[in-house]
Amino acid sequence: MKLQYLILFPILVFIFTIFAPNTSDADFLFSPSFNINFSTVNIGGGQLSSPSFGLGVTIGQTAQGQFGETGFIVKAGFQYIHPLDSFTFTISNLDINFGSLVPGTPSTGTTILSVTTGSAFGYAVKTIADHPLRIINGVTTIPNTTCDLATPCTITDAAAWADNARYGFGYNMAGDDVDTTDFVNSTYFRPFPMQGVDTPAIVMSRPGVATDSSATSTYKVNVSGAQAAGTY
């Protein structure tokens, strides 16, 4: 009887080892307040390519594909990296030349701002100046506009600037993602906020994805006959 007992015991241990394995998880996260068990882990995936083919790979994801209901779309898997737009921001020209200024005769110049972003959270373009238009190698400046006397403008609120007896420098915005309740038409301008004094002002914004949004910034300068001659 003792011999039989010694033989059966290792057999029972062997059977228990086979039919009662330990519980395992692909991943396990925990803290004093929660436990999270993952059945799968994305162990691989990405974009493979050669001169003759391109391949998007998703490995280990429980559910991949495009899923949607009214109001939302979920794209799960590395293959959906391909159609996403990267962020781009371009300024058509950085050198605005107003030429020779004639007192009481406004001069204008333009530049185009273009934005593309795949971000669902949107974007905002802000502007600020490091100093007013200033004469080279001097301290004389052309002040920022305050627009027409009857309708003064601020760094955040555009207003009409049509009176040629009102002098200064300012900008107008028109196009995609521009606040048209502020920049009502081409006569509405703002002065630039000044670095170290003001906060940047928003000139373009969108709460969601933008695909090649484009807006034109028009800069206007008007000087009096008392303005000192020189290059600003």
10: left (phi over 0), alpha (psi -120 to 50) or beta: alpha
Residue 51's pLDDT is 80
Question: What sign does the CA torsion over 192, 196, 197, 201 have?
Answer: positive
Is the same domain home to 174 and 137?
yes
In a domain, 128, yes or no: yes
pTM here is 0.66
DSSP annotation of 193 reads: P
Residue 151's pLDDT is 95
Residue 31's pLDDT is 73
Residue 47's pLDDT is 66
120, burial (CB in 10 Å: exposed 0-12, middle 13-18, buried 19+): exposed
Residue 50's pLDDT is 77
Question: Residue 106: how many CB atoms within 10 A of its CB?
Answer: 18
Is the same domain home to 117 and 218?
yes
What residues are paired with 19 via a beta bridge?
none
In a domain, 4, yes or no: no
What distance in Å separates the CA atoms of residue 231 and residue 133, rounded to the nearest whole number? Answer: 10
* Domains contained in the chain, number: 2
Q: Which helix (H) or strand (E) holds 33?
A: none
In a domain, 17, yes or no: no
Is the same domain home to 92 and 77?
no
Question: Which of 58, 81, 104 is the last residue in one of the domains?
Answer: 81
In a domain, 92, yes or no: yes
Which segments in the chain show pLDDT lower than 50?
Answer: 1-20
Phi and psi at residue 112, to the nearest 5°: -110, 130
Is the same domain home to 154 and 184?
yes
Domain of 208, in residue numbers: 88-222
The tens digit of pLDDT for each residue in 106-124 reads 999 999 999 998 777 889 9
115, burial (CB in 10 Å: exposed 0-12, middle 13-18, buried 19+): buried
Is the same domain home to 98 and 65?
no
Q: What type of residue is 113?
A: L
Is the same domain home to 56 and 101?
no
What distance in Å separates the CA atoms of residue 37 and residue 18, rounded to the nearest whole number? Answer: 24
What distance in Å separates the CA atoms of residue 44 and residue 61, rounded to the nearest whole number? Answer: 9
Is the same domain home to 132 and 53?
no
